[in-house]
Structure 1
């Protein structure tokens, strides 16, 4: 029995040793780690080379948006210096060159004529038209021989609000001096009528009236006429009126109408404010007048 068993064992061939599966798994993991390390090293340069070799790009170039434009530097605020004449009360010498208005009311004009020696009537409705208001003055001298008596007729007409429409004067056979110039008492009427509206751009009118010469001046809606009657050499007519007929005149008048603007402050109503200084204590100082 022992001999048979030993001979059986001698006949069996010797097999190859088997490698465990775990070995192959560990080897695969190790090689993967090594290849991954190589491919990912140096900012994945080798991985990009392999992808480029096989014709595909694993990492397309990133499109970066353009850098934002620099904001412009803020512009410093503009500084404007207003000239003094913009905030100061209007000067009488230049007031009529831009907007022609009556700078005096009808009742005030009548009072000015009374101060000049003409006993005008009160500002009241006219007998022929209740919508027309007027004041007038009339004086007639003595008749001399065949000549008409020397006379003066003055009338100022307007509306119930006191706005003047026109002023008229008619003189007949006026008294003159040895130089043929108008009597100062009558000339005072024209001086008052030309001075009170403060239309100082009419320069030649008064001198022409003084010498009894015909004259007509027009300017921005105002018209002044002094003329001798053709058929009656001893009669003279004077007319001062304001009639804005052109488009620019009407638009300017409507734009500066008192219905849409606040009235200018009255300088006489301002209260002076005392300001003490080291050199002159108690000197009144007034704030600048602003026109609204």
Structure 2
């Protein structure tokens, strides 16, 4: 018998071997199935399993604490403003700081008419078309050797209504037993001095009532009431404003409308006496026209 006869003898068959690829595919398939199960239903099964083994894969959401309630607002502190901060400015106060005509020419003429002095309308002057004016003149009856009593009033300005000056000339005015000026004539000066609202001139009206010479100057304004030297029965009154003085220029620049709100226009005085000026019923002879002041 040959030597390799035993080698050629048939060997018993063993168990078949499973390829590694099969196990790999099986593992992947099971993993997919388990992952699908665990992740389904909003990962409810996965949360159950993790909770069973004592650990939390998805801790509870940490929510911020609710906001604290805002403190109750405290009531605003009460503060009372001084009246001079909230009240409208007074025209009298404005005239103290800035000397201006607080009334226009036409309004001044109307105020004189309301006081019983029948001034003309505000029209261009006959001698100069750039000058506007209103005036009043009255001539009384002649008394023997005396000049006839007369009154001449004129307010002059420009076409825009701005006043330049106001003048009055009275000749042989009527007076009472105390030598004081007749109230009907005094009313002219009361109106002229009241309407501009320059309240720092205090003695002028009393001096005019007593027919005393007086001159007051203040902050660009000038008031004169004088008796003519050569004609004792004649009196001249002038009210004017010099807007070119140094203090007036500086104050006007400081209170310019570019910096401050414009001050309100004052209302006309309501307490002006409205009794008509006394006029003679009959004039004997032609009335003498008084000299116009210039």
Task: Please say whether Structure 1 and Structure 2 have the same fold, judged by a TM-score greater than 0.5.
Answer: yes
Alignment partner, residue 231 of structure 1:
230
Q: Is the 8 A contact 1:96 1:201 kept in 2?
A: no
5+ residue gaps, structure 2? 1-78, 268-294
Q: Give the RMSD, CA atoms, in angstroms.
A: 2.3
Alignment partner, residue 5 of structure 2:
none
Residue 201 (structure 2) pairs with residue 202 (structure 1): yes
Alignment partner, residue 120 of structure 2:
121
Q: How does 1:254-269 map to 2 (within 5 A)?
A: 254-257=253-256, 262-264=261-263
Measured in 2, the distance between the counterparts of 1:267 and 1:195 equals 12
What is the SS of the residue equivalent to 2:225? strand
Q: How does 1:270-281 map to 2 (within 5 A)?
A: none
Measured in 2, the distance between the counterparts of 1:217 and 1:252 equals 20
Measured in 2, the distance between the counterparts of 1:236 and 1:206 equals 14
Alignment partner, residue 138 of structure 2:
139
What is the SS of the residue equivalent to 1:96? helix
Alignment partner, residue 33 of structure 2:
none
Measured in 1, the distance between the counterparts of 2:264 and 2:92 equals 19
Measured in 1, the distance between the counterparts of 2:113 and 2:266 equals 26
What is the SS of the residue equivalent to 1:166? strand
Q: CA deviation at 1:85?
A: 2.2
Q: How does 1:2-81 map to 2 (within 5 A)?
A: none
Q: What do the CA deviations read for 1:17-57 (whole angstroms, capped 9, x no partner)?
A: xxxxxxxxxxxxxxxxxxxxxxxxxxxxxxxxxxxxxxxxx
CA spacing shift, 1:160–1:186, aligned 2, 3 Å: same
The higher-RCO structure (CA 8 Å, 6+ apart) is 2
Q: CA deviation at 1:206?
A: 0.2
Q: CA deviation at 1:258?
A: 5.3
Residue 211 (structure 2) pairs with residue 220 (structure 1): no
Give the aligned length.
189
Alignment partner, residue 241 of structure 1:
240
Measured in 2, the distance between the counterparts of 1:266 and 1:123 equals 20
Q: What do the CA deviations read for 1:138-172 (whole angstroms, capped 9, x no partner)?
A: 00001110111000000000111111110000000
CA spacing shift, 1:224–1:120, aligned 2, 3 Å: same
CA spacing shift, 1:194–1:115, aligned 2, 3 Å: same
Q: CA deviation at 1:96?
A: 2.2
Compute the TM-score of the two structures, normalised by the length of structure 2.
0.60
What is the SS of the residue equivalent to 1:95? helix
Measured in 2, the distance between the counterparts of 1:186 and 1:208 equals 14
Alignment partner, residue 176 of structure 2:
177
Compute the TM-score of the two structures, normalised by the length of structure 1.
0.60
Q: Is the 8 A contact 1:168 1:239 kept in 2?
A: yes
CA spacing shift, 1:162–1:202, aligned 2, 3 Å: same
Q: CA deviation at 1:205?
A: 0.3
Q: CA deviation at 1:83?
A: 4.8
Which consecutive segments of 4 or more residues in structure 1 shift more than 4 A?
80-83, 257-262, 264-268
CA spacing shift, 1:218–1:174, aligned 2, 3 Å: same
Q: CA deviation at 1:252?
A: 1.9
Q: Is the 8 A contact 2:89 2:264 kept in 1?
A: no
